[in-house]
Amino acid sequence: MSSFSKDFIFGTATSSYQIEGAHDEGGRTPSIWDTFSRTPGKVWNGDTGDIACDHYHRYEEDINIIKSLGVDSYRLSIAWPRVFPEQGVYNQEGMDFYKKLIHGLLDAGIKPMVTLYHWDLPMWAHKQGGWVNRESVSWFLEFAEKCYEELDDLVYSWITHNEPWCASFLSYHLGHHAPGHTNLEEGVKAAHHILLSHGEAVKLLKGKFGSSTPIGITLNLAPAYAPTNTINDQIARNNSDGYANRWFLDPIFKGSYPMDMINLFSKLIHNFDFIQEGDLESISTACDFFGINYYARSLVEFDPSSPMLNKGAYSDYPKTGMGWDISPKEFKELIRGLRENYTSLPIYITENGAAYDDFVENGCVHDKERTDYVEKHIKAVAELNEEGMNIAGYFLWSLFDNFEWAFGYDKRFGMVYVDFETQERVLKDSAKRYKEIIQTRNI
């Protein structure tokens, strides 16, 4: 048995577009996800976040659910188009929703961890190129500044960005997420501007605001493995690691982009002038903690026809409902590697969880597979801490079944089941088990 100290933070996480609904209320204007989800063929079943979990109207009931789980902290994100529905136009009503929500959490004894950007870029910003346009950095800073002004004395910690890889490469290069573009140069530029906006937002909080609220960034990291030791497979492994992980880790922690990836990208991108003098210094501004979203390892093999020279390889690991490998061992290897090569900052696991096909049976949801998945990863966290890896907290993704991006409502990640017809919420078995782990601080 392993135990957790009493100051270890157990939490759960959501994001604005995935749960709020009320897409046209309170002065909110559309984000790229409203547009993308309305574009035929982009999201499973044509699902949108118009209603989602209707959290915008039900946040009080939802705070009670969060409280009933016994978590120490709740990670939420702020919808930028609620706060700035048009360029330069601040909307107090939008901000007030988050004030009420955060006050409610504090009253319930729950520490709010707040992400500024979890992918709902306002359409007004997209119409000017979105993250591909360097101006996006100043738009983001204006948004961040308002959030700091209004909320900094209430939040427990800030996260500038959730998963820059998804917001850049998955969205502008691979086209699976909004805005659905398929251009490597756009992806690399978007990644750069997102990273730069992160560094500038850290400087703003610590400098002008003189705030001591901890601030960090969350990356999704997928440690890469190859099925064989052939040179070609090892090249594939290295490139996958470079594309998914090092392209973000290196600038944040080392102040440089990985040269092997610059070389690879330079076959398609001929001019890197968008990386300007001083940018990398800003991107590597010291943070207070590092957030990691971990779901699975990736197993890749060489593919001469693919732009990044790799493709998913056959893996015999058990899978979650997303088809992702259940890989807690690789999670431990990832954390050890980060400690060795990148950072000694406190680490928060800001997301970890699994999707399965759940259903309600006599008022219960017996999600044994999710419970197993969560137990395995929490146990790994405890063991990593026994090795001195300094993981400060664990946030289960997700509180609710919600709008799972390109998969719409087809994939359920919640520990609380949501009936999207009635909006009824039902605690799954995994939630009950999570509550027990938090109470006993043992696994």
Catalytic site positions: 351
Stretch that binds ligand PNW, among 163-171, 186-194, 224-232, 251-259 (CB under 6 A): 163-171
Please report how close the Cβ of residue 398 comes to ligand PNW at its closest, in angstroms.
6
In the bound state with ligand PNW, the residue whose beta carbon lies nearer, of 18 and 197, is 18
Please report how close the Cβ of residue 416 comes to ligand PNW at its closest, in angstroms.
14
Q: Is 261 within 8 Å of 242 (Cβ atoms)?
A: yes
Please report how close the Cβ of residue 169 comes to ligand PNW at its closest, in angstroms.
10
Stretch that binds ligand PNW, among 121-129, 161-169, 193-201, 232-240 (CB under 6 A): 161-169
In the bound state with ligand PNW, the residue whose beta carbon lies nearer, of 253 and 400, is 400
Using the rule CB under 6 A, is 120 a contact of ligand PNW?
no
In the bound state with ligand PNW, the residue whose beta carbon lies nearer, of 98 and 397, is 397
Residue in 62, 120, 150, 163 binding ligand PNW, rule: CB under 6 A: 163
Please report how close the Cβ of residue 405 comes to ligand PNW at its closest, in angstroms.
6
Indicate the Cα dihedral angle 112, 118, 123, 124, nearest 10°.
60
Q: Which of the residues 226 through 285 are near ligand PNW (CB under 6 A)? A: none
Q: Is 221 within 8 Å of 307 (Cβ atoms)?
A: no
In the bound state with ligand PNW, the residue whose beta carbon lies nearer, of 220 and 430, is 220
Residue in 4, 413, 417, 434 binding ligand PNW, rule: CB under 6 A: 413
Q: How many residues bind ligand PNW (CB under 6 A)?
A: 13
Please report how close the Cβ of residue 279 comes to ligand PNW at its closest, in angstroms.
25
Residue in 29, 157, 168, 220 binding ligand PNW, rule: CB under 6 A: 220
Please report how close the Cβ of residue 333 comes to ligand PNW at its closest, in angstroms.
19
Using the rule CB under 6 A, is 293 a contact of ligand PNW?
yes
In the bound state with ligand PNW, the residue whose beta carbon lies nearer, of 28 and 177, is 177
Stretch that binds ligand PNW, among 48-56, 160-168, 311-319, 341-349 (CB under 6 A): 160-168
Using the rule CB under 6 A, is 397 a contact of ligand PNW?
yes
In the bound state with ligand PNW, the residue whose beta carbon lies nearer, of 45 and 271, is 45
Q: Measuring CA to CA, which residue among 74, 75, 63, 181 is closest to residue 121? A: 181
> Which residue is nearest to ligand PNW, using beta carbons?
220
- For 432, counting Cβ atoms within 10 Å of its Cβ (0-12 exposed, 13-18 middle, 19+ buried), the class is middle
Please report how close the Cβ of residue 369 comes to ligand PNW at its closest, in angstroms.
16
Please report how close the Cβ of residue 75 comes to ligand PNW at its closest, in angstroms.
10
Q: Which of the residues 3 through 42 are near ligand PNW (CB under 6 A)? A: 15, 18
In the bound state with ligand PNW, the residue whose beta carbon lies nearer, of 189 and 297, is 297
Stretch that binds ligand PNW, among 141-149, 205-213, 341-349, 397-405 (CB under 6 A): 397-405
Stretch that binds ligand PNW, among 122-130, 159-167, 201-209, 432-440 (CB under 6 A): 159-167
Q: Measuring CA to CA, which residue among 162, 291, 147, 131 is closest to residue 205? A: 147
Distances (CA, A) of 290 to 160, 224, 328, 349, 421: 11, 20, 19, 9, 38
Q: Which two tokens stand for residue 396?
A: 């289960």
Q: Which of the residues 296 through 355 are near ligand PNW (CB under 6 A)? A: 351
Please report how close the Cβ of residue 6 comes to ligand PNW at its closest, in angstroms.
28
Output the 3-class SS for the chain.
CCECCCCCEEEEECCHHHHCCCCCCCCCCCEHHHHHHCCCCCCHHHCCCCCCCCHHHHHHHHHHHHHHHCCCEEEEECCHHHHCCECCECCHHHHHHHHHHHHHHHHCCCEEEEEEECCCCEHHHHCCCHHHCCCHHHHHHHHHHHHHHHHCCCCCEEEEEECHHHHHHHHHHCCCCCCCCCCHHHHHHHHHHHHHHHHHHHHHHHCCCCCCCCEEEEEECCCEECCCCCHHHHHHHHHHHHHHHHHHHHHHHHCCCCHHHHHHHCCCCCCCCCCCCCHHHHHCCCCCEEEEECCCCEEEEECCCCCCCEEECCCCCCECCCCCECCHHHHHHHHHHHHHHCCCCCEEEEEECCCECCCCECCECCCHHHHHHHHHHHHHHHHHHHCCCCEEEEEEECCECCCCHHHHHHCECCCEEECCCCCCEEECHHHHHHHHHHHHCEC
Under the rule (CB under 6 A), what is the footprint of ligand PNW?
A: 15, 18, 162-163, 166, 170, 220, 293, 351, 397, 404-405, 413
